[in-house]
Amino acid sequence: MTAAERVRGWVKTAQSIAVLTGAGISAESGIPTFRDAGGLWKNFRAEDLATPQAFARDPKLVWEWYDWRRSLIAKAEPNRGHHALADLEKRTANFTLITQNVDGLHDRAGATHLLKVHGDIWTLRCTLCGKERHDARPSFPDLPPHCFCGGIERPGVVWFGERLPPEIWSQSEQAASAADVFLVVGTSALVYPAAGLVHLAKASGAKVVEVNPAETPVSGMVDFSWRAPAAQALPLLVS
């Protein structure tokens, strides 16, 4: 029995599966990541723009960046990795998909048991009244957008220096703790606290499987590390 066949056996017999996805799976759909050259915009780094301080200083500049990102994401399509995870959800008794991505590609692939620990770029939140709304337009005619109450809206994402949504994070920890199999897909395992879910799942007794073309800080502790892109490996895992 090959290692891949053994992993397929774990996945097939698991009653509870949790998955953590990162920017890598979206990069396979053509969405640039923060950590490559394509993630730069007008010579700004994400760390310069995705902060409450940057938004308070120049909301129009921050929104110009998010407008650019939304226009890129709108052209992207879920890949075979996204669809494989949606298929896996349908055949697993207890399934939770935890994503660090804000692009909505998992939703478009059909995932429903989805926890977005870093928020959703298609959600807007008023900085005055706090009301949230969904807006799927690739770009806005006027920046920054405003709420009906007159307040400036911000992207409904978690910025550097902000806490993760407490309820979503609590559910993520519960899913990692209860998993028989924990898949780590396309994440650098550098961003905490999300990367800590890998350690939590391992400590709770899950079989931890990493899917990533490159080695990461958690590669040495997982039960199996599949050196392949998500769009290639995940359809084979769930077949």
Query: Which residues is 44 bridged to in the sheet?
Result: 41
Burial class (CB in 10 A: 0-12, 13-18, 19+), 230: buried
Check: CB of residue 18 under 8 Å from CB of residue 182. yes
Pairing of strands 119-126, 132-134: antiparallel
Which residue of the set 82, 83, 106, 118 is catalytic? 118
Which residues lie closer than 8 Å to 122 by C-beta, 6 or more apart? 70, 104, 134, 135, 136, 156
Annotation marks residue 134 as catalytic: no
Q: How far is CA 65 from CA 53, 58, 151, 195, 199, in A?
A: 15, 11, 20, 26, 34
Cis peptide before 144 (omega within 30 of 0): yes
**Measured distance CA(180)–CA(161) in Å, rounded:** 32
Please give the positions annotated as active site.
118
